[in-house]
Structure 1
Amino acid sequence: MSQNNYPKLHNATWPGIVGKGPDSEPVISFDEMLKHTAAAEVGGVKFDGIDIGLFDPHIDLDMSDDGIKKLAEKVQNLNLNIGSLVAPIWGGPAMGSKEERATFVEMVRKSCVFGQKLKELGVRPYGVVRIDSASSVENWAKDPINNTKLIAQTFREACDVAADFGEKLAAEGEICWGGMHSWRAMIDTLDQTNRPNIGFQADMSHTFLYMLGYNSPDDRILPKDFDWNDRETLDEAFKKLTKALRPWTIDFHVAQNDGTVFGSGSHDKTGRHCLATDPNGKLDITHDAGHWLRNADGQLTKAFKHICWDGCMFPNAVMGKQNTWNDILAAMIKVREAHGWVG
């Protein structure tokens, strides 16, 4: 087995919330997600940390300093770190009213304050703050030019706030967010934001859907009659996609996808996350992660110190099985063996 110790391997806790709720399944508690993460082990290798969403019911963004200290101690006692944070910006669309946009920026500020305190406690040595436009594709499409300008303006203001805390913001590549729903729209939004501390968060499931043109048929990269056995064409599509987005990429989610969209609870349809061992998965996880983790010449980018598994909207029965997390960890280890380094 490789001796690579970077990138660090993280699990996400927000799959216990995302897609859950009254019209779906009950939320899985933060402690339960933490327990499964800490218990996972493959060949003596364990997860190095967790990425967390700063939203109820897992995390109270306004918790006291003492509460944050207890959170840090709970994670540290399991020999884990905290990496990237998800800012709860959905109460204020980035292309909304002046007041809504101000709410968006304020949620980013609070998230940066929270992240700074975790750094001071020694539990968060790396990671970014993740954002999205908090706006639907349908509303964005009513006035694409001006709505993208508004999103970029809001992102600039959020970036300026984040810079005061030494934080970078990663815009999530997910097809359900207006102005971020295709690879060209995402690049346009990032270009217009024009701040040194804005970047892209690639998710192997969500961003994969960019190539299929969901919510933006004109930006489709793979042919409509694509044969999933045609690995050469798939690799060429990956090269085109990653050439465009890799220079922006500062946060990365390992995942599997079966080429379809899915939504549950209150979450809109986006790239379906599949189990690492799903026979219907269209990705060669280890190979395809390399398109993001290496540049066009095959050299490691080392653009981030950790990678995270994201498996939102899995059934609770699946997430309650420890073997699920062992299989996920095994897939993460293979990615690090193939594309990691010693640091």
Structure 2
Amino acid sequence: MQENNYPKLHNASWPGIVGKGEGSEPVIPFDTMLQMTAAAEVDGNKFDGIDIGLFNPHFDVNSSDEGIKKLADKVASYNLEIGSIVAPIWPPDGGSAMGSEAERKSFVEQVRKACHVARQLRELGIRHGNVVRIDSATNPESWSKDPAGNTRLIAQTFREACDVAADYGERLAAEGEICWGGMHSWKTMIETLEAVDRPNIGFQADMAHTLLYLLGYNEPEDRILPADFKWEDRPALEEGLKTLTRALRPWTIDFHVAQNDGTVHGTGSHDKTGRHCLATDPNGRLNIAKDAGYWLRNEDGSLTKAVRHICWDGCMFPNEVMMKQQTWNDILAAMVEVRRQHGWHDAK
């Protein structure tokens, strides 16, 4: 067993849903995701918990308090805890954060529902953090029709959502992913966060998605790496990661460990975004453990300790891959190495 016990190591439930369903492969049931997570083991290390998306068919955000307790009891039965949760802010139940007044009202209402579930899970003792993940529920093309005006609308919606979340003791983490308008480049992400101007707004960094911030996907003017960049140039990549994390690390309150091969990918109804690759993928462009350190350590090399758990996000893997236990063992091994290099011991 490794000495470090923080950050806690979590898997995610939503890869069983995202990119699945109509037009793609069948959804993987929530119970199956729990079973695969709980069964993973590497040198005596196991996953400590799971991050959960509050959307059907895994879980209905409209569930009663009794339903929320059943969720907590089910996760606890696998000796897991619950970490960050994802609010189901997309249409048809939610709406675009820069849409009509009705759409934006629906967005905020979905955040309220998610925060109710989140607080209940904390009070039940199954969840120790207080992060709820959101995005803008719109695409870069729509945003680009009026960048300034749409950013103001997104910020206003996020601000209202933050005020609601604060009433429940929750923080909101805006997902850094190139498929979300107003969040699709590192500069637009910072502009949006600054415009929200609330103490409980932060950034959710995912190594697979933020890698494409470096290349300026969907916002070429904001690329950090030069146009003639070659993946073989590791020193240039590291300098790019330093620039990116220097800007976004102060905002980061939620962190996903992941791998990317430098391409975009989408399945089902999910827009193309940074491709999640297996931890062992030979085409992966990241040194997972080392590059996680750019997010988890300050400029002087000290640990930020800004996140007390880290999560693996493996969206849009084929079901055949996700149903192999070795897949999750390999992922856990990568997570263990991240904690070995950038973790700490805490008796709490």
Q: What is the TM-score when the length of structure 1 is the normalising length?
A: 0.99
- Which runs of at least 4 in structure 1 moved beyond 4 Å after TM superposition? none
What is the match of residue 240 of structure 1? Answer: 243
SS in 2 for 1:206: helix
SS in 2 for 1:212: coil
CA distance in 2: counterparts of 1:121 and 1:160, whole angstroms: 23
What's the offset of the Cα at 1:83?
A: 0.4
Q: 1:40-73 CA deviation, whole Å, 9 max, x = no partner?
A: 0000110000000000000011112111111111
1:148 aligns with 2:151: yes
1:107-126 to 2 correspondences below 5 Å = 107-126=110-129
Q: Please tell me whether residue 73 in structure 1 is matched to residue 73 in structure 2.
A: yes
The Cα offsets for residues 246-302 of structure 1, whole Å up to 9 and x where unpaired, read as 000000000000000000000000000000000000000000000000011101000
The residue aligned with 2:34 is 34
Query: Which among 192, 197, 200 is matched to residue 195 of structure 2?
Result: 192
Question: Which residue matches 2:48?
Answer: 48
Identical-residue share of aligned pairs (%): 73
In structure 1, the residue matched to 2:22 is 22
CA change 1:276–1:127 in 2 (3 A) is farther
Q: What is the CA–CA distance in structure 2 between the aligned matches of 1:165 and 1:126, rounded to whole Å? A: 12
Deviation at 1:225, TM superposition (A): 1.7
1:236 is paired with a residue of what secondary structure? Answer: helix
For 2:24 and 2:302, the matched residues in 1 are separated by: 43
Partners of 2:201 and 2:108 in 1: CA distance: 14
Moved more, 5-14 or 60-69: 60-69
Q: 1:226: how far off?
A: 1.2
The 5 A counterparts of 1:127-142 are: 127-142=130-145
Map 1:295-306 onto structure 2 (within 5 A): 295-306=298-309
User: For 1:308, which of 308, 311, 331 is the aligned residue?
Assistant: 311
Between Structure 1 and Structure 2, how many residues are aligned? 343
Could you tell me how far apart the structure 1 residues matched to 2:310 and 2:118 are? 18
Structure 1 gap segments, 5+ residues each = none
Contact 2:41 2:329 in 1 (8 A): yes
Deviations 1:134-183 (A, max 9, x none): 01111100000000000000000000000001100000000000000000
Q: Say whether 1:283 aligns with 2:286.
A: yes
Distance, in Å, in 2 between the alignment partners of 1:180 and 1:66 is: 36
Task: For 2:46 and 2:73, locate their aligned partners in 1 and report how far apart those are by CA, in whole Å.
Answer: 19
Residue number among 211, 215, 218 corresponding to 2:214 in the alignment: 211
Distance 1:244 1:229 in 2: 24
Deviations 1:184-219 (A, max 9, x none): 000000000000000000000011100011000000
Q: CA deviation at 1:109?
A: 0.4
- SS for the counterpart of 2:214 is helix
Shift of 1:2: 3.2
Structure 2 unmatched ranges of 5 or more: none
SS at match of 1:84: strand
| 1:60 is aligned to 2:63 | no
Task: Give 3-state SS (helix, strand or coil) of 1:307's partner.
Answer: strand
Give the counterpart of 1:321 among 312, 316, 324.
324
Q: 2:340: which partner in 1? A: 337
CA distance in 2, matches of 1:153, 1:273: 31
Partner Cα distance (1:120, 1:249) in 2: 25
Report the Cα distance in structure 2 between the residues aligned to 1:225 and 1:275, rounded to whole angstroms.
27
CA distance in 2, matches of 1:101, 1:71: 28
Q: Is the 8 A contact 1:127 1:306 kept in 2?
A: no
For 1:67 and 1:175, locate their aligned partners in 2 and report how far apart those are by CA, in whole Å. Answer: 34
CA distance in 2, matches of 1:21, 1:76: 27
TM-score by length of 2: 0.98
Q: CA RMSD in A?
A: 0.7
Partner amino acid, structure 2, of 1:235: E
* Structure-1 separation of matches of 2:293 and 2:307: 14
Find the aligned partners of 1:99 and 1:201 in 2 and give their Cα distance.
26
Instruction: For residue 218 of structure 1, give the secondary structure of its aligned residue in structure 2.
Output: helix
Name the aligned partner's letter for residue 6 of structure 2. Y
2:172 matches 1:172: no
Per mean C-alpha deviation after superposition, the further-off stretch among 229-238 and 171-180 is 229-238
Q: After alignment, is 324-333 or 66-75 more displaced?
A: 66-75
Rounded to whole Å, the distance in 2 between the matches of 1:228 and 1:94 is 35
2-structure distance, mates of 1:136, 1:233: 30
Report deviation, 1:228.
1.3
| Paired residue type of 1:203 | D
